[in-house]
A and B are shown apart, each in its own frame.
Chain A
Amino acid sequence: MTLSTMLASMGEGMLRTCAIFFLTLIFSMPLGMIVMFLRRSRFRIVREITKIYIAIMRGTPLMLQLLAWYFGPYYLFGMSIRGYRFPAIIIGFAMNYAAYFAEIYRGGIEAIPQGQYEAAEVLGYNSVQTFFKIILPQVIKTILPSVTNEVITLVKDTSLAFTLAYNEMFSLAKQIAASQTSFMPFVIAGIFYFIANYVVAFVMERIEKHYDYYK
């Protein structure tokens, strides 16, 4: 098998890897915002339930969570859903990453000095204006480095989809490596992850620069 045929057969896997990556980000980042608000709810019961959710998401392996999301409906309710494999992967990833993002957002929000809220209140801003005009822009600036970390981890975590026998790039690399007794597919996979993360770091650095105009 030549290099180009290897690349060709891994290409589709790369697209699947990208699909997991982008869909997870699209769902988990806003979901994390909701989880953060629940975690900061004024109702104790809501806060406590959210804390348990976050503890489970962070305290158990993502691999195990993927299995639970996929096989859970069958073992718990006897349901077998056709075409559920890919949705289960996205649900698993999004729910897991939402917990991490929620904690990052929370850290960012709690780092904003109380004086910013008080100044906004005395100046007459309502709570929506205060959040979107005063608080959120400052939160985004402070959390960017942590978000970068999380996104880079996600690039590499996409390979966990192999748990549910989903043929993303790394699963294909393993199959080809086994059938061809070649290490080359792993080298290609490594380069792919490296380049992907290089792009992530580059983009995030540009965004950070954009917020560089103040301290």
Chain B
Amino acid sequence: MILQMNGIKKSFGSNEVLKDISLQVDSGEVVSIIGPSGSGKSTLLRCATFLETIDSGEIIYMDKQAVTTGTNGQAVYVGKNELAQVKRYFGLVFQQFNLFPHYSVLKNIMDAPIHVQKRLKEEVHQEAMELLRKMDLEARADAYPCQLSGGQQQRVAIARALALKPEILFFDEPTSALDPELTGEVLKVIRQLAEEKMTMVVVTHEMPFARAVSNRVIFMDKGFIVEQGDPEEVFGNPQQERTKQFLKNYQR
């Protein structure tokens, strides 16, 4: 088990965004999370990556407890150093890429492995070039993000996340900021990673992609997991009324 999230609750003020959500991800699994906007799927990802703090529940990465909830119902995070250790297990790809504009493509990928993980420059350089080859961006190593298309930027962002060798990679609507023509090249990369058995959790609106690539689909609505299971089951034969209603809008 790579990730366990149990009984996650999260509110923004009086707005309860996550109402008792549990999510387990096994090694090599590709999980897609779908659902209408405001359903809490992005918040779930942001809680899993500690960009938001949960109100109660527990988060465990690779048997390391990162967040616990005591008897008083309040979530308790482990200390700063232990949390930094846990953070090494995951990577996150953002909807808006969030590349560092003042760094070249290569430096975007190499900087964190060198300055955060303190790895050797030569070794990191070699791996970065390999990642760029994989992303079909070898020729753009010295370009700056502003010189790349959205699809290329997102592929650099994926390479940047992979360079830290995470156990699990989260994607927060990785193609939502791209026009349809560029969506394909990013999805192709994610599909390729799935074939290599990279553990991934993808929040997405790309239904055909979710159906084709993932081992499991989770449908969320209003802070709950309404339905989850094999993609063929969820898409082909949804059990819940809300799921049917949601999917109908995508089958035009």
Binds B, one of A5-13, A123-131, A189-197: A123-131
Contact residues in A for B112 (Cβ distance below 8 Å): 123-125
A interface footprint on B144-157 (CB within 8 Å = 1, 0 otherwise): 11100000000000
Chain A count of residues within 8 A CB distance of the other chain: 19
Which A residues lie within 8 Å of B90 (CB)?
A: 122
A116 touching B51 in the complex, CB below 8 Å, given contacts A123-B160, A124-B164, A213-B144: no
**Which residues of chain A are near B42, meaning CB under 8 Å?**
none
**Cα distance, A116 to B102, chains bound together (Å):** 11
- Report yes or no: A115 in contact with B101, Cβ–Cβ below 8 A: no
Q: Do residues B115 and A134 form an inter-chain contact, with CB atoms below 8 A?
A: no
How far is it, in angstroms, between the C-alpha of A122 and the C-alpha of B116 when the chains are bound?
A: 11
Number of A-B contacts (CB under 8 A): 56
B99: nearest residue on chain A (CB-CB)?
A119
Chain B interface SS verdict (over half): loop
CB of A137 closer than 8 Å to a CB of B: yes
Q: Are B94 and A115 in contact (CB under 8 A)?
A: yes
The verdict on B100 contacting chain A, using a C-beta distance below 8 Å, is yes
- Decide yes or no: A129 and B146 within 8 Å by CB, A116-B98, A116-B100, A119-B98 being known contacts: no
> Could you tell me which residues of chain B, from 95 to 140, have a CB within 8 Å of some CB in chain A?
96, 98-102, 111-112, 115-117
Question: How far is the CB of B177 from the nearest CB of chain A, in Å?
Answer: 11
Q: Separation in Å of the B51 CB from the closest CB of chain A? A: 6
Whether B174 is near chain A, meaning CB under 8 Å from some CB there, is no
Q: Does B78 contact A (CB under 8 A)?
A: no
Give CA–CA (A118, B161) in the complex, Å: 13
Q: How far is the CB of B202 from chain A (nearest CB, A)?
A: 16
Q: Report whether B116 and A123 are in contact in the complex, using a CB–CB cutoff of 8 Å.
A: yes
C-alpha spacing A215/B98, complex, angstroms: 14
A138 touches B101 (CB 8 A): yes
Q: Which residue of A lies closest to B100 (CB)?
A: A134
What's the nearest-Cβ distance from chain A to residue B114, in Å? 11
Complex-state Cα separation, A87 to B133, whole angstroms: 61
B33 within 8 A of A: no
Is A156 an interface residue when CB atoms closer than 8 A count as contact?
A: no
Contact between B49 and A122 (Cβ–Cβ < 8 Å)? yes
Given the complex, which residues of B lie within 8 Å of A118, measured CB to CB?
A: 51, 94, 98
Contact indicator per residue, chain A 21-43, by CB within 8 Å of chain B (1) or not (0): 00000000000000000000000
Q: When the two chains form the complex, which single residue of A119, A122, A141, A215 contacts B100, counting CB atoms closer than 8 Å?
A: A119
Given contacts A124-B88, A124-B164, A125-B112, are A138 and B96 in contact (CB under 8 A)? no
User: Contact at B98–A129, with CB atoms within 8 Å?
Assistant: no
Contact assessment for A123 and B164 in the assembled complex, using a CB-CB cutoff below 8 Å = yes
Q: Which residues of A line the B interface, CB within 8 A?
A: 113, 115-116, 118-119, 121-125, 129, 133-134, 137-138, 141, 213-215
7 CB-based A-B contacts, threshold 8 Å: A118-B51, A119-B100, A123-B116, A124-B164, A129-B116, A134-B100, A214-B145
Besides the known contacts A123-B116, A125-B112, 17 further A-B residue pairs in the complex with CB atoms under 8 A apart: A115-B98, A119-B99, A122-B49, A122-B91, A123-B164, A124-B112, A125-B115, A129-B115, A133-B111, A133-B115, A134-B100, A137-B102, A138-B101, A141-B102, A213-B144, A214-B145, A215-B146
> 4 tightest A-B contacts by CB?
A119-B98, A115-B98, A124-B116, A215-B146
